[in-house]
Amino acid sequence: MDERIIKTEYSEVMQKSYIDYAMSVIIARALPDVRDGLKPVQRRTLYDMYELGIRYDRPYRKSARIVGDTMGKYHPHGDSSIYEALVVMTQEFKKGLPLIDGHGNFGNIEGDGAAAMRYTEARLQRITQEAFLADLDKNVVDFIPNFDETEREPSVLPVRIPNLLINGAEGIAVGMATSIPPHNLEEVINAVKAYIQNPAIDTGGLMKYIKGPDFPTGGIIINKSELCGIYETGTGKVKVRGRIETEKGKSGRINLIITEIPYPMIGSGISRFLSDVAALAETKKTADIVDISNQSSKEGIRIVIELRKDADVENFKNMLYKKTRLEDTFGVNMLAISQGRPETMGLKEIIKASADFQFELTERKYTTLLAREQEKKEIQEGLIKACNVIDLIIEILRGSRDRAMAKNCLVEGVTEGIRFKSRESQVMAQMLRFTERQANAILEMRLYKLIGLELDALVKEHEETLANIYRYEDILERRDSMATVILHELEEVKKAYRRKRRTVVEDGAEAVFAEKKPEEMDVVFLLDRFGYARTIDTATYERNREAADGENRFVFSCKNTGRICLFTDTGALHTIKVMDVPFGKFRDKGVPLDNISNYDSSAEQIVYAADQRELHLRRVLFVTKLAMVKIVDGGEFDVAKRMVAATKLQEGDAVVDVTPLGEQRDIVLQTEGGYFLKFSLEEIPEKKKNALGVRGMKLGEDDMVKAVYYTGAGTADTIPFQNRTLDLQKVKSGKRDTKGTKVRGV
């Protein structure tokens, strides 16, 4: 077989392949359809349950059975995505209207996951069966082949309510994402009815019915005035707070009870909230907290915060809103698939699409019903006509050799080959002109239909059929009649499944938290050789000065309201608030710097630590192992960021020494190879912190700077070197960027 090689541009192939992949994710995986508000995996799961007969009034079936059948027939993308979709459709705390009735452990609001699919069971909810899957036998939606063309599945479910708004949606596609909040069923249906009755209604008019999102977790929406703009554009942020109630506690204390949480806090957000509240007490942000406990159960959320008697309750509430996720935002991006393409839609566009879909479903439904009634009418008229000449028909049947001969006589009046009792019967038979359907119905008619009461019932049924035909034709021909039908169906769903609004919508006041400034005091910062930091008061330090200086790498005084600067060998500057460092007793262990800063003890080492206020007034000298030196104005380190670059380094270089300059005169560089170079500090230029610096010493091959010393007031004159004492004053002075002097050991 001849090979056929097609040459093409690689970038074009990649571009086309990526676009195909992106569109597949967008259309077939991640985004819901505006008509039924369902993603493909949700639609397929519900349809599979319907096909399996797992109805609301029948026994539960294993979730694994549902997942396996859905994956094998309709959704070949793995069982986990199917089961996760099934689980979410059962969770009342995520969906305003759960579509599946779960039996077993399907997770909880605190973030615990569902049990494995082999343990849980499920069946359809009643509303799912009545408002999502009804009328599938009436040709109301198109059916398409499944992935291997062995089955057929609906392209969209005939959902009778705007599910996209009622249940909301969340999904991440390629280059786009959707985030639609859930709404109240009764309000949404009222808005759809208002639109059907007045298509010119604007977003403001619709919001007379839809007050705003209605989250399953309740809460309080506090930016009511911004909702109209959000619904107009389809994008924006909804601010929502948890609900706090107060109770009298023990010994006259006050208990704050959180009974509702913001919707974004579902899952691990609750444990994060508890940790944040505990951190407020640990970091001394507040001294009002006595105890905190999570008493939530199946009955609902109940988080209890016990406060001191003299606590400012309103100020503490505002602190919770400001410092924790008890006030959060829900990002709205109402993106859905409309007419085969992703589109961001406002409230009116979504309601219009839903209403148009209802008219389409109703038209297709009553077109099918009309065709069925017309077929029934044809058959009924044939049977009634046959009853009037039943003796002749019996004579035809008895005189015919086979069914085809009898049918031909009933339809065409052909009497050849049929034996009649009289010439008159044959003439009458030749005048018969039944239709094909009528002839088949007559041939299949049972004799009991000739009973008088049965004949009366047939006539009555025929009258009902005529009435249905008249009604169906009226619905199909007049939009007002069709609208009346849709409005009636919506009203029935509303009456059966409405519930009270859970989320309050208001224009809440901005949370103003007056954080009490701590009283400024002098403390002593201690950092030991293991990287643990703590602060103690000055009196404690004076009593333990010798032990403190001997056991710690860095010891210095600072203000409790200031910041600490940590310079590392990687050239980074980490800053931490002194308030974040635990204040306590001298023998307290302290806290690892890794826990209160961006410092990573596994990747960098601290070269120098100092009070930021002290550095602000000094000049700082940097020396690296490749002998690069520079002086930087300390004011450049007066930063609020947790981490910045303190100096620029070459590849393979590292900071050896960082020293604030005072009365030092000369610098002495010592290398691994035993070379010493002493030169004046005046030779070192002052540069910016992001500069590389200048070379301070010429290094031999594989040699590097090991230590840095200084001469002048307040410095040591001698250092230990190779089992002897070296007098720095006797080291020969030189110039910067020279090799220095080799010092021999003993």
Residues with catalytic function: 119
The angle subtended at Cα 168 by Cα 164 and Cα 171, nearest 5°, is 100
SS3 (DSSP) at 37: coil
Cβ atoms within 10 Å of 473's Cβ, excluding its own? 15
Strands 303-307, 335-338: pairing kind: unpaired
Is there a contact between 188 and 161 (Cβ–Cβ < 8 Å)?
yes
Q: Which residues pair with 592 in a beta bridge?
A: 532
What is the distance between the alpha carbons of residues 497 and 503, in angstroms, rounded to a whole number? 18
**Centroid of chain to Cα 176:** 13
Cβ contacts of 498 within 8 Å, gap of 6 or more: 185, 186, 189
Closest C-alpha among 666, 563, 579 to residue 616: 563
What is the distance between the alpha carbons of residues 697 and 717, in angstroms, rounded to a whole number? 21
What is the b/e burial string over 586-615, where b = at least 16 CB atoms within 10 angstroms of the residue's CB?
beeebeebeebbebeeeebebbbbbbbeeb
Strands 243-248, 335-338: pairing kind: unpaired
What is the distance between the alpha carbons of residues 636 and 560, in angstroms, rounded to a whole number? 22
Is there a contact between 307 and 290 (Cβ–Cβ < 8 Å)?
yes
Burial class (CB in 10 A: 0-12, 13-18, 19+), 740: buried
Is there a contact between 445 and 439 (Cβ–Cβ < 8 Å)?
no
Is there a contact between 176 and 161 (Cβ–Cβ < 8 Å)?
no
**Centroid of chain to Cα 16:** 29
Closest C-alpha among 242, 239, 237 to residue 222: 239
User: Residue 138 has what DSSP assignment?
Assistant: G
Cβ atoms within 10 Å of 144's Cβ, excluding its own? 11
SS3 (DSSP) at 533: strand
Closest C-alpha among 609, 592, 594 to residue 558: 609
Closest C-alpha among 567, 706, 570 to residue 650: 570
User: Residue 738 has what DSSP assignment?
Assistant: B
SS3 (DSSP) at 508: coil
What is the distance between the alpha carbons of residues 460 and 457, in angstroms, rounded to a whole number? 5
Q: How far is CA 437 from CA 41, 294, 445, 689, in A?
A: 42, 71, 12, 95
3-state SS string for 517-531: CCCCCEEEEEEECCC
Q: Which residues pair with 669 in a beta bridge?
A: 677, 708
Closest C-alpha among 664, 681, 649 to residue 570: 649
Is there a contact between 499 and 186 (Cβ–Cβ < 8 Å)?
yes
Alpha helices in 36-96 (DSSP H): 40-51, 63-73, 79-88
SS3 (DSSP) at 598: coil
Provide the token pair at 589. 């262990």
**Centroid of chain to Cα 247:** 34
Q: Which residues pair with 666 in a beta bridge?
A: 680, 711
